[in-house]
Homo-oligomer: A and B are copies of this chain.
Amino acid sequence: MADIKLTDKYISDHLNESLDELSKLCAIPSVAAQNRGLDECAALVSVMLERRGFKAEIMPSGGAPVVYAERKGKVDKTLLFYNHYDVQPPEPLELWETPPFEANRRNGMMFARGVSDDKGHFVSRLFALDALLAQDPELPCNIKFVVEGEEEIGSVHVPAFVEKHAKKLAADACIWEFGYVDHRDIPMQVLGMRGICYVQLDLECLTQDVHSGLGGSIFPNAAWRLVWALSTLKGPDERIRIPHHYDNVLPPSQRDREMASKLPYEGDEYRQRYGVKAFLRGTDGHPDLHLQETLEPTCTICGLTSGYQGAGSKTVLPAKASAKVDFRLVPNQTPEEVLKNLRAHLDAEGFQDVQITYLGGEAPGRTDPDDPFVNLVVNTAKDVYGVPQERVPMSGGSGPNHAFLHFLKLLVAVAGLGYPGNQVHAPNENIREDLYVKATQHVTRIVNEFAKS
């Protein structure tokens, strides 16, 4: 058993070194959506693990490589960390105050694309192990890492990878890629993740753009057809109109409402931070807003593009149009059924000409909120944050946790350094250094307690 006072001192003494290591990792533009920097980043992740005495492998997945690493410990119990080394695209570049791939520390924060999601989490976990290893050359228990490179594009190859390597990845529990405090700085325990089905819809109605004075009355317009096709998917009532979309949706349980009720109301925070004037469907109040936020299916337009988008006017009838659409799924929806229903729906509505490209998907996944490992992670937080984690029934976001739950029969809990202002997926992504320290301290305690549990 490590002396937690000494690990805390180590963390405090070596913070700059750890953030320097994080800066180097953030310097690699490992943007999965743009297929750049991935091999280079995987190589660095592998080296960082080997530096801590891990046996690391860069394993093919069918897409971006997965870095797998393991190291034995004193006790023969295994804790698996799931992280990812890929990041979101940095665009729009003009909104960054400092360049996205040059980490910049200011005002007790560090800014870079991926510094929070998810490179900061990965490096803080290594930092926690450094603190433990500084006291004892042996780890308290076996530790494994799965660090993948396609999380931001839906972890396309991860489920098959996990299934294929289930024996190698076997563990007793899993700490998920993230964790966060809410706007009151209270740490959260997230007990599930929505699934996702991300598609691109493309239309091409002509072989070239045409002067709008010529074609406007007689030629089909890809932008119009896209608008009409999209408007059949969801109306202003926010109800998804694809037949069978809600067939397998489980409504929130009594335990979900109970957990949600203990969480704070976030509406004011959202209004202030994002300038929301009214929430969708007029929902507000507690816990209704939270349950709608995390336990309902969504259909989100993430992007639209067609024709002329520059300054002023251009009188053109565009030959092509496309949209990116993201469906978030709740138990027991699957990306496969969503995709199938979407195709059937567009066909039935007369949009056979809309081409659907599946850009990735994951099934939703949940963890038993009252499992002993969840209790361990929840309770060890108290020593760091002053309060235990609060249980969140489900995250609005997605990840491949379903594969870990399903193929590895693992319990998945979260612990990490996120906070509401860290701008993940947006310009000026950042971490708070105080929370980086706390997340690291929390991991030393989790490993310690897990080894003796």
Residue numbers of A with Cβ under 8 A of B are 32-35, 88-89, 91, 152-154, 194, 196, 198, 200, 205-221, 223-228, 230-231, 234-236, 270, 273-280, 283, 289, 292-294, 296, 298-318, 321, 323-324, 326, 328, 350, 359-360, 395-398, 424-426
Contacts and interface: CB of A to CB of B under 8 A. Distances in A.
Contact of A209 (B223, B395, B425): B425
A253 to B, nearest CB: 18
A90 to B, nearest CB: 10
Contacts of A32: 312
A317 B299 CA distance: 10
B312 A301 contact: no
A279 B293 CA distance: 44
Contact of A153 (B211, B279, B313): B313
Most buried by B among A33, A198, A299, A324: A324
Contacts of A294: 217
B314 A88 contact: yes
A235 to B, nearest CB: 7
Nearest to A210: B274
B396 A213 contact: yes
A91 B304 contact: no
12 contacts: A34-B311, A196-B315, A198-B313, A213-B328, A214-B396, A215-B274, A217-B294, A219-B274, A221-B300, A303-B306, A304-B304, A313-B360
B326 A220 contact: no
A143 B410 CA distance: 87
Contacts of A289: 218
A324 B227 CA distance: 13
Contact of A317 (B277, B302, B323, B398): B302
Contact of A219 (B209, B279, B398): B279
Task: Identify the interface centre among A153, A221, A321, A424: most chain B CB within 10 Å of its CB.
Answer: A221
A302 B275 contact: no
A303 B309 contact: yes
B328 A218 contact: no
A318 B301 contact: yes
A310 to B, nearest CB: 6
A302 B209 CA distance: 10
Contacts of A309: 303-305, 324
A136 to B, nearest CB: 39
Contact of A211 (B231, B276, B360, B425): B425
Among A230, A309, A360, residue most surrounded by chain B Cβ atoms (within 10 Å): A309
Contacts of A395: 213
A51 B401 CA distance: 76
A211 B228 CA distance: 25
Contacts of A328: 212-213, 216-217
